[in-house]
Structure 1
């Protein structure tokens, strides 16, 4: 079991400041700012961001501010070909992102670990669908956090065909580690997009969790899903969707957040040498298919 540590008093105090903020209003404002195309404004934002967050652009397809249409183009930048080789073993579950492993464990009694002493509901995470939650009851989950400096496209952990997508409206708390430790049920409270796939060995799901300043979430087969945020759960069924290859891009965050992988019972076993806080690159082995 890989789980993050418990919240400290400092974590709780910092997180309290988030509750009264207009999460969606701030995020939409950030979305507009990051799409400014004025050359000097865009360039200044990109250079400042690279300096503050120590962003490594050596693997990026483009590397100069002028190469991107706007800040969001820089943030969702593509990698140069071959920058993320895929683990070669065919039964490997790939890391779908460049990010930090927050937790990797088994769903127990319909609950997932968020932090030490904190769990959240599988059925709530999946938008309140009991039959879908039953698919992953007692299954395996892994939570990966994308920091501001990370590559922000999301890829397939294995080959799969999209079956269903669910947009669940919610709040947009930060998903920084200190907030995850402090805010109860954060991943099941934040806005999120649940993507269900059929793989060669059975179903699996990816949950793309929004966060404050995440101006939108999109998938390659649908495009932008949010905004608008809305107040009701929306769902799409796919009967003849084109399968996505192992390691192929499946979506992206326009600003960063978290991805939760879900497998049915016996569907996946995570690597035993990984601890909470381990850094992973897209395409690296996260575990093995059951």
Structure 2
């Protein structure tokens, strides 16, 4: 039965219909409410259904029992489960992810998948911010529904600004990326502007997705979803060490990471590589070419 359901879900037309051609925000709000129900039978049943449909690995989870499906979504890991590469020349992966589109930032253009461009200035909501990364490198990191949902500082850094942009909650899987133009520019997102200790700017753009679609930031406000308060730009001076928890999604989603000229993908990293938080993602070198 599981294989049969898997084949149905793998059908692109059906997958797109089930995850996008529904009232996305309504479905997201309903699932967000339902996932927080702290009733043992509801929690066990909903987690079991989620694990049936998703590749959920709880082996590294700090807890073994969860009060709700939401608690399982946003689980923390046991200490040492995600060791961080200590090389100061390396930018570590901020999250568990599958590597998607990546390459050199050509003017103002990047790609969500091959042949599907979008403008970096639209993603960031700021043309000046986009120009700071012209000629640099972008990497798309997709977190699936079953993955560990926290993201971490890729290096010692200072968070200087967060720009929250409200939006839709399209699914961010490859099927939707092929069909919805400029999808990342349509979804709810947060552009997190950071600076390394040597002055190098980097940007992490956290893009929300269908079902729950909530972005939380540990250095800003962990009690409320970032969307509370509406679109805005927040100036900060939050210093984080490499590997520190930066926040989490309440469902699978995407981080687009931007770096200036002078970085290359770390050895062995390519699409569709599977990475764990803390593993090498980018290293000092010559910027990668478009793929």
TM-score tier, shorter chain, comes to 0.7 to 0.9
Contact 1:214 1:256 in 2 (8 A): no
Shift of 1:56: 1.6
Within 1, Cα distance between the matches of 2:90 and 2:214? 30
* Alignment of 1:248 onto 2:265: no
Secondary structure class of the residue paired with 1:242? strand
Unaligned runs of 5+ in 2: 1-10, 286-291
Does residue 200 of structure 1 match 2:201? no
Report what 2:147 is aligned to: 150
Aligned counterpart, 1:90: 88
- In the alignment, which residue of structure 2 is the partner of 1:262? 258
* Partner of residue 274, structure 2: 279
Deviations 1:227-250 (A, max 9, x none): 4485xx311012xx2301101110
Q: Whole-Å Cα distance in 2 between the matches of residues 166 and 181 of structure 1?
A: 27
Matched residues in 1 for 2:21 and 2:274: separation?
A: 32
**Secondary structure at the counterpart of residue 238 of structure 2:** coil
Corresponding residue of 1:159: 156
Distance (Å, rounded) in 2 between the aligned partners of 1:62 and 1:248 = 20
Shift of residue 11 of structure 1? 4.2
Task: Give 2:3's aligned residue.
Answer: none
Question: Normalised by the size of structure 1, how large is the TM-score?
Answer: 0.88
Preserved contact between residue 96 and residue 147 of structure 2 (Cα < 8 Å):
yes
Say whether the 8 Å CA contact 1:191–1:209 is kept in structure 2.
Answer: yes
State the alpha-carbon separation in 2 of the partners of residues 13 and 55 from structure 1. 22
Q: Distance in 2 between the 1:52 and 1:274 partners?
A: 27
* RMSD, aligned α-carbons: 1.9
- Map of 1:7 onto structure 2: none
- Aligned twin of 2:116: 118
For 2:270 and 2:191, the matched residues in 1 are separated by: 25
Stretch deviating more after TM superposition (26-35 or 214-223): 214-223
Quote the offset at 1:159 in angstroms.
Answer: 1.2
TM-score, structure 2 normalization: 0.87
CA distance in 1, matches of 2:23, 2:147: 26
Question: In 2, distance between residues paired with 1:80 and 1:95?
Answer: 18
Counterpart-to-counterpart distance in 2, 1:153 and 1:197: 18
Q: Is the 1:30–1:215 Cα contact (8 Å) retained in structure 2?
A: no
CA distance in 2, matches of 1:30, 1:229: 21
**Runs of 4+ deviating beyond 4 Å:** 10-14, 16-20
Shift of 1:251: 0.8
In structure 1, distance between residues paired with 2:64 and 2:186: 36
